[in-house]
Chains A and B, each alone.
Chain A
Amino acid sequence: MMNKIVNLRHIAVIVSVVIMAIGMAVGTICHFVSNGFFNYGDEFASYKSVEVTTSVPEDINGELLGTIAAEELSSLGAYKVSFAEGSGIQPNTVIYKFPASASDSDLQAAVDSIIARFEERGLEDGSASLHSNTGVAGGIWQLNYAAIALASAVVIQAIYFAIRLKPGMALSAVLSQLAAVGVYASLLAITRCPVGLEAIALAAVLTVITMICNGIFFGKVKSLYKDESNAKANKLSLVATGAESTAKFGAFICIAFAAAAVIFAVFALIASPSIQTLLPYVVCIIAAAACAYNFAVFAPANYAQLCGLDRRGK
């Protein structure tokens, strides 16, 4: 299998570039016709919200509030609901969050209906109001710092590999990191999974996992180079052998990560059964897929092209 990938290395690299190009194209089109290059999450996006309150003396545990708000608002496409139980003068509050594209007239009609029902039930202190919210990209600060840290880490990895291993391996490791993050970002743009702080943190985890996989792969290839019994073997076949013998480690890492995401997703669904709950875990699986593709296809193919830069022996 690895022999085929190494032999078809040009195609393997082209496939990666095509995936990234498709992601760029989808993202660019969505930037103009939809909600942005990525489908941004809560931290970055604008949204509408309906805030409904009742006072504690009139509605002790907020049960009436919860019932009436759910009946009027749950069918309008809310993606997040949060409840704050009141105490003293602090009212019971429920906030429904809707996408920015939700209809103002539908939401206002629901708000009016809630107020009317509060009056019917004698909840004189009850209120409901519709708000439009523009997210301030606080996460962007974190994104910038995370990007700087990870870019620096990739550079340090390249220097370390150049000293400890071979220059071609160092260059290949950098390219493979870029490809892993590029494929991950493209898959996020294509699938329109919401990009929030989780997606950014997972990009960091993906980079770290790619580093581990690269470390194992290049370490193995170097040991094959050093082995005198391989003195007459073709370099490409050694790359393929190295990739073949380390494939199970890469597969284990990616499958273990994806399996852990599935287990967490199942339990998260038990806690809060909604599609919204699943989304961060879908992003996890996308990250694992990007890592697996990189380890199984891009890294061996890419290094097969660059292995001419490296000399055998110590």
Chain B
Amino acid sequence: MSKVKSAIITALVVIAIIVAAVFGTVSFNVGAAQRYNSIAARIPLGSEFSGYVYTTVYPEGVISANEYDALEEEDKSAYEQHGGVYVSFEECDYADIASLSAAVAADADILSARLGDRGLTDYSVAVRDDVTIFVALPSGYSYAAYKGNDSTERSEALSAASSSIAYLVADGELTLRTTDSSITTDEDSGTSIDMTRNKDEYTDADILGTGEQTYPFVSANEDISSYFSSVTAYAFGGSNVLSFNLTEYGRERMSYVSTLAASSESQTIYVCVGDTQVLSINCTSTIDSDNMQFALSTLSAAKDTAAVLSSVVAGNALSVAYNAPDSVSSSTATGGENAALMAFIASIVVLAALCAAAVIKYKKLGGVLAISFVILALAMLYTLFLLSIQVTFEVLAVCAGALILLAAANLVVLGEVRAQCKTGKTMQAAVKAAYKRTLWSVIDIHVIVLAAAILMAAVCQGAAAACGLILVVGTLVSYVLYWFTRFMWYVLSSPQRNKFAFGGFKREVYGDDE
């Protein structure tokens, strides 16, 4: 390869990296009113970097100290203090603290499982004062949102977290409801079904927020959860899909329910958990299929709905009636106000140290290694952004692991090149032989790490699954970059006149050579 070709290829690679790095890491104002937030500033952050969104969920009949203080004196007598809260057994379905706290503890376990199924990377659930549940989710702000440079994203993230909490704490059983008090199934014969016959405890509740009454399509004695075998959420082709798999019995019953809904005036099936509406299905014809799929506005909403419905379908409905959380609070980052910025600077320092060590040890060749490290770091950055993986301590550790994998693979090769140089080969021959001799070792370590990463991504939940996913990408990129290093080695060393010394390596000089 000629010097010109080598220089052009090297320059193109470096320019591409600089452009990707600038857009990836530098935020700047565009004109007076607009701002470009870098990729790094738009990645969702975990709780240690952006704080928690939290609330306390109170069962009916349990109130906070503030609410107790606001009561009239005669109303206070119905309450007794328990820890930091007040309980009135006249207003809850339990006779004593022991039975209420046992039910709340069981519900907290279910809630924790729902949050795990929801795929959150980091959350906490605690039973507070034996009778309430404290729930905290990562706020999921990006750095730009956390620092107030992206108010839209901040309000969207807060709204998504609040909505997640509101959905996931839905108590009660699954019902399919309609606002029509009677449905005419056959207009010719005038056959009409009186839906008020199915009236239940939620009929008068303002489920839809419009003040309208709602009636179950089927008797309250019928177990709706037996209609479904599973409920999942996924994104596909730009749509956020909520998918129900129906049982044989469920298919038959949904056919009946959807026929009624299609004949009704509203032509809608409201899917509710207790008095919380989680989905509304516009139904204009009979549904007769093993699978039902619906597009929701956001993936977050689809995941929330799937998590709560899966839990109820599996027979894990919350048994205590809870008051809907009034509001949620958003705390500062648990790692300190500037934790995200400091973690970012630390990442840059680690990367710079690795690059510097490579350049010092291997001169120009170290530059190639440094380019590989920077490309891997940028690939991780863009992957975190594209897959919306929340950056947590664990994710950073795995990114460091991927960087170490690339460094280890290259070290193995470089060690072998040094050994080959000592046998008196030219640089080109030594490099060729080294890559050949170490190929299987490098493939071995990438294959086993890739297998572990795929298993983590597929089997695990929450933080561990996110770590697995990022490690899958990191391992694949590391292997590609291993060959990129080989290519750049060729590009940079080809124009060299001295074929026996390059990048800190030198052929062993024998007596007869001198």
Contact = CB atoms under 8 A, between A and B. Distances in A.
Given A152-B459, A256-B354, A267 B467 contact: no
A263 interface: yes
B453 to A, nearest CB: 8
Contact of B342 (A200, A205, A211, A270): A270
A164 B440 contact: yes
B464 A84 contact: no
Q: Which of B64, B83, B338, B354 has the most CB of A within 10 A?
A: B83
Given A149-B460, A152-B455, A256-B407, A284 B397 contact: yes
Contacts of A127: 65-66, 69
Contacts of B124: 42-43, 135, 138
B353 interface: yes
A153 B448 CA distance: 8
A141 B113 contact: yes
Interface stretch (B172-180, B210-218, B323-331, B493-501): B323-331
B343 A264 contact: yes
A108 to B, nearest CB: 10
Contacts of A165: 444
**Residues of A in contact with B, size category:** 35 or more
B451 A212 contact: no
A248 to B, nearest CB: 8
Contacts of A164: 440, 444
Interface string A193-219: 000011011101101110110011001
B449 interface: yes
Contacts of B334: 80, 82
Contact of A82 (B113, B331, B353, B456): B331
Contact of A256 (B332, B342, B404): B404
A272 B456 contact: no
Interface string A134-150: 11111001100110111
Contacts of A207: 452
A31 interface: no
A293 interface: no
A265 to B, nearest CB: 9
Given A149-B456, A198-B393, A271-B335, A133 B408 contact: no
A159 B337 CA distance: 47
A27 interface: no
B109 A271 contact: no
Nearest to B396: A264
Interface stretch (B16-24, B344-352, B425-433): B344-352
Interface string A203-241: 011011101100110011001000000000000000000
Q: Is the interface of B mostly helix, strand, loop or mixed?
A: helix
Contacts of A90: 327, 329
Interface in B52-67: 52, 54, 64-66
Nearest to B84: A129
A142 B461 contact: yes
B455 A133 contact: no
Given A93-B329, A257-B400, A266-B346, A208 B65 contact: no
Contact of A153 (B52, B405, B452): B452
A272 B48 CA distance: 11
A131 B441 contact: no
Contacts of A86: 329
Interface of A: 42-43, 46-47, 49, 51, 53, 80, 82-86, 89-90, 93, 95, 127, 129-138, 141-142, 145-146, 148-150, 152-153, 156-157, 160, 164-165, 197-198, 200-202, 204-205, 207-209, 211-212, 215-216, 219-220, 223, 245, 248-249, 252-253, 256-257, 259-260, 263-264, 266-268, 270-272, 277, 280, 284
Top 3 nearest A-B pairs (CB, nearest first) are A272-B336, A201-B394, A271-B336
6 contacts: A127-B66, A131-B134, A138-B115, A208-B401, A208-B452, A249-B415
